[in-house]
Amino acid sequence: MLEFNSLQNLDVNAVNSSILLREAEETRKRTIRQQVLEMHEKHMTVMHECLKPIEQQCKEEKRKWLEKKRQCDVNIILKAKEQSELDLKEHQRQLEALRLQTQRQLQVISFQGIAQYQSKFRSKYEAIVNLLMSIDKAVLMSCNEYNNKLKELIKMFEQLINKIKGGTCGGEELKTADNLCKSLAALEIGILEALKQEKEKQENIAKEQQKAQSVIAASEKEPGQDTKQESPQPIQQSQPPPPQQQQQQQSEPQYTEASAPTQPHKENPPTTASKPTNETETNQSNISSQHVSQERFEFYTKINTFYLEKVERVKVLQSDESMKKYRFDCQKSINIPVNAISAVSPQHIQDKFDKLYSFVSSQPALGRDYCILLMAKKFVGQGETTISSNPQAAFPVASVIVSLWKCIPEFGQLFLAYCFKECPFLVPYFIPQKKDQSPEEYSKVLGFRMVDGQPEKQEMYLKRQAGIARLYAAVMVTNGRKQDDGTPHPYGLENAWRWLTNMMDIAPLPFLSATLIMEILQIVGSDMWTTYGKQFVKLLMYIQHHYFAKLSDGDTGGPKARLELLLNSFLRDGQIQKPAGMLPVGFW
């Protein structure tokens, strides 16, 4: 029993201990959990405290980034706006330039049209005046109405010209000029019709008078008197020349001595159809024998006529003050590339050619003629200046000339015209001095420049003429661009042969003739020897044995001596070397 009680007490104690232990464990766990929670809260608090500045910093950085982005967006918008304004201004500037260019082109076309109408009006007016001056006073009184109408039309056309000079020139003015020309043509038709009627009236009166005289003569005739009498002639009124002849006479270009190539002689080949054929042939024969071959004279006349037509055509542009800037721009666009031509590289020459060709080709019709004249004159001027001091410079310049000549044939003709104008012996022809002509006047005819009222020194004159001759000769033996190789040379070596043979037939000019022959032989001699062989050698021997006798009569200076040494060297060596500076084939 005691044991049972002991066991029972032991179990109770064990259970109580177990319960206490369990409760203690639970309490410990709760305590630990509480401590963990507190530690977690403390940790979270610490973390929040640590993260708070970082969050503030992030927010500040985000705010700054947004502000920076906004500022960048504003700058981009401002730059885009500025660029748009610049683009708009540039577009407006281009439109304005295009408008001015178009306006200038239209103005040039309008001026050209007005000039044609003005020439047509003047021609018709002069025809009417000649017509009115050719009729009798009695008939002229009946034409008083036409005369008043003519004065009215002249006044209206003068008002139109004054309006155009004021800067107003457009389609309305062209239409007005056309109407005035038509009115003037109608007036001429009216006058001709009135004169025709008046002529018929006079003829009828004359016939009546003739009948009356015949009746009187028949009634007063004595028996046996010869019945054959001379009929009275009707009154014939003087008639004006046909309109075509008037127009041909009035359309002949008027030009000054300074603006046109010098004429070979005061006599020109007769062109009047009323002269007998044999007289015409006689005059032309005299010109050929005294000055230059007929073939060469006709060639020169054709070139000179073409030049004068171009000069006359561009007068309206040259005299227009409103086109002064346009003329200056044209001169600048031509002078700069021409002055820069050299054989420094193929690309360099190609660039200068492209600038000249593209500029001239982009001009309107009248401006194109003006620019071609400028360009031809400038190239010949290079002969007088650059090439006269540096002979080797002739070949790159000549190469560009040949290339432009192939693309623009008109340029080549005008280039020749300026060569002949500045150096008449390149035609060639000799201009004899007139008896009443002063040395100063004769010097002008030969191409001397006037300095302070006196002809330039002979050394300077010969230097300029030699430079032009070098360029002229270089053109004949120089090729152009490679891409134009299939096109025939526009002014080949045969022209050098013609020139030399023609020079043998005219009287030499002291110093100049020997200088030109020497300069041209030095450049074309090698190619002529290769091309013409023995015939060219014979020509050289003829110059040496026969032409030198002509030179000796009036030329005892240095040019003749240098030419003689040159010929002796050619004939002694049996060949002529290529000139220095000549461009190789296919250079550019």
What global pTM score does this model have? Answer: 0.55
**Statement: residue 303 has pLDDT above 90:** yes
Size of the chain, expressed as the number of residues it contains? 588
State the average pLDDT for the chain: 80
DSSP assignment of 352-415 equals: HHHHHHHHHHTS-HHHHHHHHHHHHHHHHHHIIIIIHH-GGGHHHHHHHHHHHHHH-HHHHHHH
* pLDDT average, residue stretch 134-139: 57
Which of 104-108, 280-284, 331-335 is predicted least confidently? Answer: 280-284
Residues pairing with 450 in the sheet:
455
Which of 5-9, 143-147, 179-183, 339-343 is predicted least confidently? Answer: 5-9
Element (H, E) at 451: strand 450-451
Distance of CA 549 to the CA centre of its chain: 45
For the record, the structure tokens of 429 come out as 């022809």
Residue recorded with tokens 């800037």: 325
**Statement: residue 529 has pLDDT above 50:** yes
**Statement: residue 256 has pLDDT above 80:** no
**Phi, then psi, of 451 in degrees rounded to 5:** -125, 115
- Burial class of residue 339 in the structure, from the number of CB atoms within 10 Å of its CB (0-12 exposed, 13-18 middle, 19+ buried): middle
Split at pLDDT 50, 70, 90, the class of 275 is very low
Residues 559, 508: contact at Cβ < 8 Å? no
pLDDT score recorded for residue 284: 34
pLDDT digits (tens, 9 = 90+) for 422-475: 998 899 877 777 888 888 888 887 888 888 888 888 899 999 999 999 999 999
pLDDT digits (tens, 9 = 90+) for 112-127: 777 788 778 877 777 7
pLDDT score recorded for residue 312: 93
Q: How would you write 57-77 as a 3-class SS string?
A: HHHHHHHHHHHHHHHHHHHHH
For the record, the structure tokens of 293 come out as 């071959």
pLDDT score recorded for residue 44: 87
pLDDT score recorded for residue 157: 81
